[in-house]
A and B are shown apart, each in its own frame.
Chain A
Amino acid sequence: EDKVVQSPLSLVVHEGDTVTLNCSYEVTNFRSLLWYKQEKKAPTFLFMLTSSGIEKKSGRLSSILDKKELFSILNITATQTGDSAIYLCAHTGAGGTSYGKLTFGQGTILTVHP
């Protein structure tokens, strides 16, 4: 069964700290791994990763995928209070019973104190 596990489940840091969020997955037919940020309402898209070893960056956020070890990390440098949110990892299946299926992990709750 397709599975996504995130760690830690919650994290409390101070502004300026760097954080690393982890996502490991099991999927029958892997297509891509996605990261989302959720504040008050619906999740918003951060990254999609399909190739191993290639880092995606957007400002202070970056993410990388390891398809051999089946995990991804999301790094946030110089954290700000506005980074406080739930960070969700998800993978999509490419074929067989996973075709089109998009499964999320349980999320990491990040709290950044001033």
Chain B
Amino acid sequence: LAKTTQPISMDSYEGQEVNITCSHNNIATNDYITWYQQFPSQGPRFIIQGYKTKVTNEVASLFIPADRKSSTLSLPRVSLSDTAVYYCLVGPPINDYKLSFGAGTTVTVRA
């Protein structure tokens, strides 16, 4: 799996937009980018996945530039309940079941 680099922590306030950038310079042609969220005392939870350009769902948006060497997870109008660790994972979408979690980014949302 491609190595990923993301900030260790980020602070924000309620109502703001949070953008977490993940670097993955050695991403392979068939790799997808996946983000997981983990709340304290819970298991990781899938948020979003994309291959290129932009993907949006009810939780977040994922922006992937043309060179795909980085990606940005965007959390719109965060609330206190969005305080969690966010993981960026890169790997092929099929037949690669070994999810490889890095240290993740701890996002702390304050009132």
Asked if A pairs with B, the answer is no
- Chain B residues near A (Cβ < 8 Å): none
Interface positions of A (Cβ within 8 A of B): none
